[in-house]
């Protein structure tokens, strides 16, 4: 039995790049939020979340992203989502996330837009 | 109905059990040759319906019934719990702007189900809640 | 029973549908903290029982009922089809040496289920077949 | 939706090395059998099947292996299974495959034994 969710994290061009792998549920959302907070404290203001390896998300997992956006807004930071399955993009659109967050096809594109 | 595929499950209240239903959905969809885009949206609907039902299932009967009926054209998702029910019309429409600055960021499931399905019906009373979602697959 | 987790499904006759049951088994086993070794063997039992039932399911009622009841100590697998049934005592024990040189290499499911389970019961008549497998998990 | 089964094939030290990925069912068994037959015609007599990425098999899929063993026996060839989950190893044992086929922990070990 594999873990249902894994997260990898790296800094690229001043951007925190988080890559999810698996189901973004309550637990997944919390992992993303914790990892973000660690770097946010250290001054990171640009964040990319790549959902390339997530085929399913739920609204509870995604609701953690609202808090990230909120914190980034306060410091004029910005969040980008990349590599989204069309149904996941639709979900985030319904939730109104793209009024505050950006989207891009690839991580590189997102980093370019953030810099 | 021709090529009508039906899957029924009664799910226990354990973590990520909704993924079992999603796996069933995937197998049915592949068998019928449904597009990736439609399957993706159906996955979201199934997931949201089941996590609500599991979360609000009854203390005595904690199980949740799930039924998928799929043809090449249409998917009917039926989910029922034995919880205490609720009044859908009293649930406030979520708004991301209002969610910012308030503690509770949740409350998106019903909106997502309504927006992503082609038809949506909730029947709820003190014996539990039944939700029926219809998704066109072409 | 304490910590008794139950999953019920009615599966359609479509390719690889047994993997949906395996996914359910995995979720239950993880929740209860069952060892990888025991889960692996339970997966094989579930797979063999379901592929037989699907293959021999009835023309009118092509569905197969599956039920898992799991505790930390024990798994009960119940699978039923509505096919024409068979006489288990007339099924010949397979032997690899005899299989070599003959056309049909199949016929291993019952032997594997018998060998890998801790208890094994088949009830079969013209209305279908019920198989119950018990697997100790510790 | 990913395919349920994938097979990769390579020649290493005169051995045909087949690596399965996913459910070894009827379809998977047939894929393995077809790939084997292609190389068997060209004189390959040593075969390794690595099951590292297969967590589930069924008896119909595995029954195709009996035919492979049969053909190899006729030319004094040999089949090795490697990287087996313990439950899969037990299944193959129950079927009596290891009276005719070898087993090893890794592909390298199997190739060493075959040479
Ligand atoms: N099956 C159900 N049984 C009882 N109440 C429910 C059910 N589904 C939804 N609700 C109620 O509707 C509200 C909104 O649900 P939803 O939009 O899915 O968001 P969330 O579950 O994240 O709060 C829930 O907070 C709950 O009060
Ligand atoms: N559920 C069932 N209904 C009817 N016949 C069955 C059923 N399960 C097994 N059988 C009979 O028993 C035989 C042996 O089954 P099994 O050992 O699983 O091998 P296989 O299915 O590969 O032939 C089958 O060929 C079939 O005739």
Please tell me the total count of domains within chain C. Answer: 1
User: What is d(CA C107, CA C104) in angstroms, rounded to the nearest whole number?
Assistant: 8
Quote the pLDDT of residue A2. Answer: 46
- Determine, for residues A94 and B116 on separate chains, whether the beta-carbon distance falls below 8 Å: yes
What's the pLDDT tens digit per position in B107-125?
999 999 999 999 999 999 9
Average pLDDT score over chain B: 96
Q: Quote the pLDDT of residue D1.
A: 36
Place of tokens 């790939």: D35
Report pLDDT digits (tens) over C42-70: 999 999 999 999 999 988 899 999 999 99
Q: Do C99 and D66 touch (CB under 8 A)?
A: yes
Q: By the 8 A CB rule, do D91 and D57 touch?
A: yes
Residue D9 distance to chain B (closest CA, Å):
26
**pLDDT at position B58, please?**
84
pLDDT class of A1 with cuts at 50, 70, 90: very low
Residue from B97, B63, B75, B96 nearest B6 by CA: B75
The whole domain housing D14 covers: 5-114
D104 touches chain C (CB under 8 A): no
Residue in C44, C101, C105 nearest the CB of D63 = C105
- Whose Cα sits closest to atom 6 in ligand 2? C86
pLDDT score for D3: 60
ipTM of the complex: 0.95
The response to whether residue B123 sits with its C-beta less than 6 Å from ligand 1 reads no
Distance CA B107, CA D27 (A): 44
Tens of pLDDT, residues B69-107:
999 999 999 999 999 999 999 999 999 999 998 999 999
Give the number of other Cβ atoms within 10 Å of residue B82's Cβ: 19
pLDDT for the residue C60: 86
Asked if B16's CB is within 8 angstroms of C27's CB, the reply is yes
| pTM, 2 dp | 0.96
Query: Using 50, 70 and 90 to split pLDDT, how confident is the model at C8?
Result: very high
Per residue in B7-44, pLDDT tens? Answer: 999 999 999 999 999 999 999 999 999 999 999 999 99
The count of other CB atoms within 10 Å of the CB of residue C70 is 26
Q: What is the CATH number of the domain that holds A69?
A: 3.30.750.24
Q: Give the integer Cα–Cα distance in Å for D52 and D22.
A: 9
In this predicted structure, what is the pLDDT of residue C2? 57
Please state, rounded to an integer, the average pLDDT across all residues of chain D: 96
The total of structural domains in chain A comes to 1
Q: Look-up: residue for tokens 């061009």?
A: A13
Q: pLDDT value at position A3?
A: 60
* Whole-number pLDDT of residue B2: 57
Decide if B105 and A66 are in contact by the 8 Å CB cutoff: yes
Question: Residue C23: which of B8, B15, B19 has the nearest Cβ?
Answer: B19
What's the domain range around C20? 5-136
The pLDDT-based confidence of D2 (bands split at 50, 70, 90) is very low
In tens, the pLDDT along D28-67 reads 999 999 999 999 999 999 999 999 999 999 999 999 999 9
In this prediction, residue C3 has a pLDDT band, given cuts at 50, 70 and 90, of: confident
CA A23 to chain centroid, in Å, comes to 13
Q: What is the pLDDT of residues A13-44, one digit of tens each?
A: 999 999 999 999 999 999 999 999 999 999 99
Q: Which of residues 1-40 of A touch C (CB under 8 A)?
A: 1
């Amino acid at each position: 039995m594999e873990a249902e969710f894994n997260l990898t994290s790296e800094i690229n061009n001043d951007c925190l790049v988080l890559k999810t792998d698996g189901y973004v549920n309550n637990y997944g959302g919390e992992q993303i939020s914790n990892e973000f907070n660690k770097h946010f404290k250290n001054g990171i203001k640009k964040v990319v979340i790549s959902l390339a390896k997530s085929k399913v998300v739920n609204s509870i997992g995604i609701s953690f992203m609202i808090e990230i956006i909120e914190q980034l807004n306060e410091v004029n930071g910005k969040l980008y989502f990349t590599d989204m399955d069309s149904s996941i993009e639709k979900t985030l659109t319904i939730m109104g996330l793209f009024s505050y967050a950006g989207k891009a096809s690839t991580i590189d594109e997102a980093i370019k837009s953030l810099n | 109905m021709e090529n009508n595929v039906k899957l029924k499950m009664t799910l226990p209240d354990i973590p990520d059990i909704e993924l079992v239903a999603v796996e069933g959905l995937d197998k049915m969809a592949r068998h019928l040759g449904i597009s990736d885009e439609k399957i993706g949206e159906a996955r979201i609907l199934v997931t949201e319906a089941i996590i609500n039902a599991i979360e609000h299932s009854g203390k005595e009967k904690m199980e949740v019934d799930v039924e998928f009926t799929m043809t090449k054209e249409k998917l009917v998702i039926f989910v029922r719990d034995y919880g205490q029910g609720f009044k859908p019309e009293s649930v406030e429409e979520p708004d991301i702007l209002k969610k910012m600055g308030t503690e509770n960021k949740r409350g998106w499931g019903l909106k997502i189900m309504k927006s992503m399905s082609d038809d949506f019906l909730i029947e709820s009373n003190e014996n539990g809640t039944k939700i029926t979602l219809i998704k066109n697959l072409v």
